[in-house]
């Protein structure tokens, strides 16, 4: 597992790399756990970290979502609820890192990868960016209320519906226009390092207070319980159909049940 997610610190700037380029950096459950561990450690008072960068290995993807084969293990409502609850904990850990977090994005940034990028403070991407949640044509599952609130905070409710309902992936120009991506760069990681160094020289309490204040504002919109929605989707015949069709590289036949 250790070589699937790499972590190093240089000059008080951390670098997390999703390291499964052969699978477009699809995220295993173990990778999510390691990501959370790093972020929790970064939030400690005695941490010397001044900034954190998250990126994906290779030039095809930041992260293309959760490794779909792992969903075959889901057989009960509890599996679905536990998964989404844990995902919210992992994403919450990314949000709670008290120093600036920059996503350096090449290529595909979808599903779980898109959710992680949405939790970062700044996003730098190259011209190959493809961002979105194509779940309505792939698995037939749903996003948690927490994830929806993150997207609405970044993109607004109308565009959030747009990308989920149409399953389209946002390209770099639209991402820049919406403010989702702060800037484009041929080498996103190099530019992310420049930004990290720049921000590490600013007043840390100002940055920390701003991050935490915005997080609290966002969290107020995510207090509603959406467990019934998660159970409805993940335990449906459609979800099982979408899962097996995806793995077999076929088009699913949706039945609405």
The string of pLDDT tens digits covering residues 131-167 is 999 999 999 999 999 999 999 999 999 999 999 999 9
- Taking each helix axis from N to C end, the angle separating 157-166 and 145-155, rounded to the nearest 10 degrees, works out to 120
Residue 72: band (very low, low, confident or very high) from pLDDT cuts 50, 70, 90: confident
Q: Say if residue 168 is exposed, middle or buried (CB neighbours under 10 Å; 0-12, 13-18, 19+).
A: middle
Q: What is the pLDDT of residue 223?
A: 73
In a domain, 166, yes or no: yes
Per-residue pLDDT averaged across 227-256, rounded? 93
Q: What is the pLDDT of residue 2?
A: 65
Q: Is the pLDDT of residue 1 over 60?
A: no
For 146, phi then psi, to 5°, come to -60, -45
In a domain, 212, yes or no: no
In a domain, 36, yes or no: yes
| Parent domain of 111 | 2-200
Q: What is the pTM of this model?
A: 0.94
In a domain, 208, yes or no: no
Per-residue pLDDT averaged across 21-46, rounded? 92
Average pLDDT of the residues of the chain? 93
Find the CATH number of the domain harbouring 81.
3.90.226.10
Structurally, the chain folds into a number of domains equal to 1
In a domain, 216, yes or no: no
In a domain, 191, yes or no: yes
Q: What is the pLDDT of residue 163?
A: 96
In a domain, 220, yes or no: no
The string of pLDDT tens digits covering residues 211-230 is 999 999 888 776 778 899 99
In a domain, 215, yes or no: no
């Amino acid at each position: 597992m250790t070589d699937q997610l790499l972590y190093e610190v240089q000059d008080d700037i951390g670098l997390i790399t999703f390291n499964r380029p052969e699978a477009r950096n699809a995220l295993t459950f173990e990778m999510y756990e390691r990501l959370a561990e790093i972020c929790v450690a970064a939030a400690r008072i005695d941490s010397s970290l001044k900034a954190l960068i998250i990126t994906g290995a290779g030039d095809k993807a930041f992260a293309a979502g959760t490794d779909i084969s792992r969903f075959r293990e889901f057989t009960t409502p509890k599996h679905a609820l536990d998964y989404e609850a844990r995902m919210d904990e992992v994403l919450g850990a990314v949000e709670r890192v008290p120093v600036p977090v920059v996503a350096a994005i090449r290529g595909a940034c979808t599903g779980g990868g898109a959710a992680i990028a949405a939790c970062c403070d700044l996003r730098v991407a190259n011209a190959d960016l493809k961002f979105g949640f194509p779940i309505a044509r792939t698995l037939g599952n749903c996003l948690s209320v927490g994830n929806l609130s993150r997207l609405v905070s970044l993109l607004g409710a109308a565009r959030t519906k747009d990308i989920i309902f149409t399953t389209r992936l946002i390209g770099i120009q639209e991402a820049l226009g919406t403010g989702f991506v702060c800037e484009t760069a041929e080498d996103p990681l190099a530019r992310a390092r420049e930004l990290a160094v720049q921000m590490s020289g600013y007043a840390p309490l100002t940055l920390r207070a701003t991050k935490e204040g915005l997080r609290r504002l966002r969290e107020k919109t995510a207090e509603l319980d959406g467990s019934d929605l998660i159970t409805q989707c993940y335990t449906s015949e459609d979800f099982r159909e979408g899962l097996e069709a995806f793995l077999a590289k076929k088009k699913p036949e949706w039945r609405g049940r």
